[in-house]
Amino acid sequence: MTDGAPGAAAPAELTPGIFSTSGLPAARRVELWESHNAAALIGLRVRAPDSLDAAELNLQLPRARLARVTGSAHAVERTGDLIRRCPADSVVVFLTLRGQARFTADGVALERGPGDALAWDTDRPFARTFAAGLEELVVTVPRAELAARSELPRMASPVIMSFGPPVATGSARPAGTARSAGSAQSAGTARSAGMAGATGTAGASRPDQYARALAWIAGRATRAERPLRPDERTVLDLVTAIAAGPRAAPGAAHRAAARCYIEEHLTDPCLGAAEIAAAACISERQLSRLFAADGGSVPAHVLGRRLELAYSILSAASSPDRARAGTASTPAPASGTGPAPSGTGPAPTVAEVAARCGFTSAAYFSHAFRRHFGHRAGDLRRDATDPNR
């Protein structure tokens, strides 16, 4: 299915699933947490000094998996024996929002804090310790997707970088994050060439544009209120650009750069191919070819992303279970794209939502929305605001 085509994900598929140890017997919390993660994310061995208090919001796409994890102090380990029994065959990116995370592999430890990202091969042993609890975003993609988009068949060492501090959604663009995205290795990125002597914090002086974009996309997809379903191809390209760096295929890197720019400027009604191509440092013709090679087009991709944003706003009402899961931190976008979640004030009209999402015609928006999702925007808004639903 191409970008923006009818038959998009059903509403139920737009909602992250939730697992929490709250209310579970204390003696079984670790066991059930391990079982959940093995099925939903990565198989891990868990050790907790006290009764584990943890929650996870999961979103499973056909290939990528995204999660927001919060928890009390504990440690996790993926041993060689566990890898042999439960291979994941994937690459993971950990994006720390709160707390300190010690990552250990090959006998060397790395300390990561809020705003830090770390990419690693899930089928190589590692351990992580959260001495004072955590909140983080986790993204996994199949290793085959990385290999198809890069010259990196396997990761030999962890990739470490900064995505910037987790601040409130909708904040102004932090200094140093708004820059053209034409190369797979952006200025200021701290990328490891090996773990020898890497003990301690090795942060980047400037946020990496791809890590920043991935944190923002994953954060919006797994927030408790108004989750915004991500474009999976964007996630795959971003993880490739992060994990493979200069070894990412030029097409994947440029496409990721273009999609980063689209996400940041989605609500701009004047957003067009010329501007997107310039931001990615390629020609309009090359931009068109890159999207066509991935099964879509630039206009259709922009339309599809705007419609997904509109859906998240129109279906704003949160269920009690999702509200309880909580989201203490949300990575800020590189620009103030899209309205921030709000639990107060009257619900916006369909026309207001259309304007907020970059549409210049409410009638065109309504037609495109119905074609994309199979039902009318007004019906979704009415259902979301009906207190008797």
Report how far apart the first and last C-alpha atoms of the chain are (Å, whole number): 32
b/e 142-167 (16+ beta carbons within 10 angstroms → b):
bbebbeebbebeebebbbbbbbbebe
β-pairing, 45-47 vs 74-78, is antiparallel
CA nearest neighbour of 202 among 210, 211, 212, 192: 192
Joined together, the tokens standing for residue 356 give 């907020």
* Neighbour count for residue 81 (Cβ, 10 Å): 10
Joined together, the tokens standing for residue 43 give 């198989």
The residue that leads in pLDDT, 155 or 32, is 32
pLDDT at position 213 is 93
The DSSP output letter for 248 is: B
- What whole-number percentage of the chain has pLDDT above 90? 65
Model confidence at 116, pLDDT cuts 50, 70, 90, reads: very high
- How many residues does this entry show for the chain? 389
DSSP state letters, 156-185: SS-EEEE------TTPPPPTT------SSS
Joined together, the tokens standing for residue 370 give 């119905």
Are 97 and 149 within 8 A, CB to CB?
no
Is the dihedral angle over the CA atoms 131, 211, 235, 301 positive or is it negative?
positive
For residue 207, report the phi and psi dihedrals to the nearest 5 degrees: -60, 140
The yes-or-no verdict on residue 189 having pLDDT over 50 is no
pLDDT tens-digit map of 250-263: 999 999 999 999 99
b/e 210-236 (16+ beta carbons within 10 angstroms → b):
bbbbbbbbbbbbbbbbbbbbbbebbbb
Calculate mean pLDDT across residues 92-117. Answer: 95
Distance of alpha carbon 68 from the chain centroid: 9
Which amino acid does the sequence have at 127? A
Calculate mean pLDDT across residues 342-365. Answer: 87
Crossing angle between the packed helical segments 250-264 and 298-314, to the nearest 10 degrees: 40
Of 92-96, 111-115, 273-277, 327-331, minimum mean pLDDT range: 327-331
Of 16-25, 88-97, 138-147, 184-193, minimum mean pLDDT range: 184-193
The DSSP output letter for 231 is: P
Calculate mean pLDDT across residues 95-116. Answer: 94
164: left (phi over 0), alpha (psi -120 to 50) or beta: left
23: left (phi over 0), alpha (psi -120 to 50) or beta: left
